[in-house]
Structure 1
Amino acid sequence: MAFGKFLIRRLLQGVFVIWGVVTITFALRALSPGDPVNLIAGQVPDQSTRDQIRQDLGLDQPMYVQYFDYLGNLLTGNLGYSYNQRRAVNDIIAQHFAATVELAVAATVVAIVIAIPLGVVSATRRDQPADYAATLGSLVGISTPNFWLGIMLILIVAMQVGVFPTSGRGIAFHEAMYNLFRYGYVADLLSWLSYITLPAITLGTYFTALITRLTRSGMIDELGKPYVTATEAKGLPRTLVRYKHVLRNTLIPIITVLGLQLGTLMGGAVITEEVFNWPGLGQMFITSLRNGDWPVVQGIVLFIAVAFVLINILVDALYARLNPQVTDR
């Protein structure tokens, strides 16, 4: 019963957050300069045509009427119609969503593969050169701007060394996996890996540093607990104790942060996608913002907000199942 109340409370909070995002983006649209009719009509001088376009879009209505009409459309799943691309925003998001998810998940995998071993080494070799190197690397990773790192990777790794492509996506992950299992084409999967490696490293660098520091602090706390001394006193190998018991207990807060940061990575992929010309929601967001295509901008912001809220609710629910004391907060 307590878990049900906890889940309902989180859902209501999520609805309130999404409503706030919708209201703020709509207000920014209303306050932004420019006329959407100019984007649609172009150089058409006929005022009657322009007035008809304005009437068809509902732009001749008072702002509060437009706001409630927009809310009504959202409740039916209609995110609007792109002024620039002349198609539904739902279709645009569906087309670019997979690329953003691929990049966010790949960045998370990069962070996990690098950060957890570094954190373990740093904690088990405390105040030794390995610990100092891992701590310094974490500090550099947190302090490095993603756009600068991406440009450096393109200039040095892609252009000078010539190992990876400089931009683009090549092939979608699901297409590469389909060709692998259906026809045995390994080349498509390798092509996908070559295109996503540099963007994933760029996006996952900050996340890697964060997880490294979290793993280190969690391992140090666990290593100081009595059960570690007791298991080692029984004759269990130190490596087994550290990786089977200590690391497993440390992973609980790390998994929570991973779930929360996945939504952050989806929203933070905007700059990385623009640098690497990755055809995801971030690049489409920048392009639409430049063109003044506000229905697409609003749709992408709302979609990312909903994804972030749902991921947070899912993580909270899983954590509440693992630790029932959370439901009392």
Structure 2
Amino acid sequence: MSYGKFLVKRILQGFVVIWGVVTVTFGLRAVSPGDPVNLIVDPAASPELREQIREDLGLNDPIYVQYVEYLQGLVVGDLGYSYQSSREVSTMVIERVPATLELAIAATVVAVVIAIPLGVISATRRNQPSDYGATLFSLVGISTPNFWLGIMLILVLAVQFGLFPTGQRPVGFADAMHSLITTGYAHDLVTWLRHITLPAIALGTYFTALITRLTRSGMIDELGKPYVTATEAKGLPGVLIRYKHVLRNTMIPIITVLGLQLGTLIGGAVITETVFSWPGLGLRLINAIYALDWPLIQGIIIFIGVGFVVINIFVDSLYAYLNPRVVDE
């Protein structure tokens, strides 16, 4: 199979997944209890007014007609209209994307900076205290729920010691960098870093533990191969062997997991954003669920699903480019 056919196959599979997400969310809305008209007008409104609203919204149409009309709207980028907020859903989703991406990327950076060196140390010092410590850290990190860790970080580092704020995000990364470039002052950037540190640690801990274990196992596997013995026989320094040759060959599966987990972090940031009142898609989704704002709920879920599919396709295509044997499997 050629690389082009492989890419087309992945894209078609992605469309099927997106269609499945759209269908499931629409179906949940159709079977959910309650009358959508109650979210627009008072339940005590006259039957004539309620019937007129149902007619205007197309709620009297058969369910398959509503489904087709919803799909037609999605094709042109129309995610619907939130009558509770009196705003377009697409606008409400897009304005929260930067905060969620900042948190997901920051959690990824935390994971990579900690996990890869820790995995290398664990693999090169097997059965030593540092290896046991890294293994214990990985086990604890994978077993710890991020919402509990977030609450503990707030209680200890924010409330008890006052080292970090408890939540919110008074300034975004783009605005902080713009202020740094235009004024030369780093106050906004420091503020952003202080606010994102705890959420990024809480969200990235599981990811850190996963990458640590993956790096350790990959390094151990590579260290046992003949080319390592050959490079050692040539007298190359151990640091050069570990980081230029062994770690480089270990990075392909790590890069794959990084890309896939980035999509998972975007969707999994819901609880972390709620704990830290982080103004991203997750917090908006929780508020929409409380308010039974179905158009907004659907829009956010579909957007997260599309983002996850796009990231997966990108990672698959990159992995196939780096390792052409994947195309033939």
Give the TM-score of the pair, scaled to structure 1: 0.98
Q: How does 1:162-241 map to 2 (within 5 A)?
A: 162-241=162-241
Partner of 1:318: 318
Alpha carbons 1:36, 1:83 under 8 Å: kept: no
Partner of 2:261: 261
Per-residue deviation at 1:185?
Answer: 1.9
Residues in 1 aligned to 2:288 and 2:158: alpha-carbon distance in whole angstroms = 28
Alpha carbons 1:18, 1:306 under 8 Å: kept: yes
One-letter amino acid of the structure 2 residue matched with residue 158 of structure 1: A
Q: Which runs of 5 or more residues in structure 1 are unaligned?
A: none
The CA deviation string for residues 66-95 of structure 1, in whole angstroms up to 9 with x for no partner, is 111101111111000012111101100111
Q: How does 1:70-219 map to 2 (within 5 A)?
A: 70-219=70-219
Do structure 1's residue 13 and structure 2's residue 2 form an aligned pair?
A: no
Per-residue deviation at 1:42?
Answer: 2.8
Residues in 2 aligned to 1:65 and 1:45: alpha-carbon distance in whole angstroms = 27
One-letter amino acid of the structure 2 residue matched with residue 37 of structure 1: V
Partner of 1:28: 28
- State the 4+ residue runs in structure 1 displaced beyond 6 angstroms: none
RMSD: 0.9
Residues in 2 aligned to 1:209 and 1:96: alpha-carbon distance in whole angstroms = 28
Residues in 2 aligned to 1:71 and 1:227: alpha-carbon distance in whole angstroms = 55
Residues in 2 aligned to 1:252 and 1:301: alpha-carbon distance in whole angstroms = 30
One-letter amino acid of the structure 2 residue matched with residue 292 of structure 1: L
Q: How does 1:62-73 map to 2 (within 5 A)?
A: 62-73=62-73
Alpha carbons 1:150, 1:198 under 8 Å: kept: yes
Residues in 2 aligned to 1:322 and 1:173: alpha-carbon distance in whole angstroms = 32
One-letter amino acid of the structure 2 residue matched with residue 171 of structure 1: V
Q: Bigger shift: 214-223 or 37-46?
A: 37-46
Residues in 2 aligned to 1:315 and 1:188: alpha-carbon distance in whole angstroms = 33
Residues in 2 aligned to 1:134 and 1:241: alpha-carbon distance in whole angstroms = 21
Residues in 2 aligned to 1:64 and 1:209: alpha-carbon distance in whole angstroms = 46
Do structure 1's residue 249 and structure 2's residue 249 form an aligned pair?
A: yes
One-letter amino acid of the structure 1 residue matched with residue 77 of structure 2: G
Partner of 2:37: 37
Per-residue deviation at 1:317?
Answer: 0.6
Residues in 2 aligned to 1:103 and 1:26: alpha-carbon distance in whole angstroms = 28
Give the TM-score of the pair, scaled to structure 2: 0.98
One-letter amino acid of the structure 2 residue matched with residue 48 of structure 1: E
One-letter amino acid of the structure 2 residue matched with residue 306 of structure 1: V
Alpha carbons 1:82, 1:295 under 8 Å: kept: yes
Residues in 1 aligned to 2:176 and 2:196: alpha-carbon distance in whole angstroms = 13
One-letter amino acid of the structure 1 residue matched with residue 272 of structure 2: T
Residues in 2 aligned to 1:224 and 1:6: alpha-carbon distance in whole angstroms = 33
The CA deviation string for residues 98-146 of structure 1, in whole angstroms up to 9 with x for no partner, is 1000000000000001100110010000011110110011000000011
Per-residue deviation at 1:52?
Answer: 1.7
Residues in 2 aligned to 1:321 and 1:250: alpha-carbon distance in whole angstroms = 16
Per-residue deviation at 1:43?
Answer: 4.8
One-letter amino acid of the structure 1 residue matched with residue 148 of structure 2: W
Could you tell me the percent identity over the aligned residues?
68
Residues in 2 aligned to 1:316 and 1:126: alpha-carbon distance in whole angstroms = 32
**In structure 2, do the counterparts of structure 1 residues 99 and 276 end up closer, same or farther at CA, with 3 Å as the change threshold?**
same
Residues in 1 aligned to 2:58 and 2:283: alpha-carbon distance in whole angstroms = 28
Do structure 1's residue 308 and structure 2's residue 274 form an aligned pair?
A: no
The CA deviation string for residues 2-48 of structure 1, in whole angstroms up to 9 with x for no partner, is 01110110011000000000000011111111111111113552222
Residues in 1 aligned to 2:274 and 2:232: alpha-carbon distance in whole angstroms = 51
One-letter amino acid of the structure 2 residue matched with residue 213 of structure 1: R
Partner of 1:284: 284
Alpha carbons 1:34, 1:292 under 8 Å: kept: no
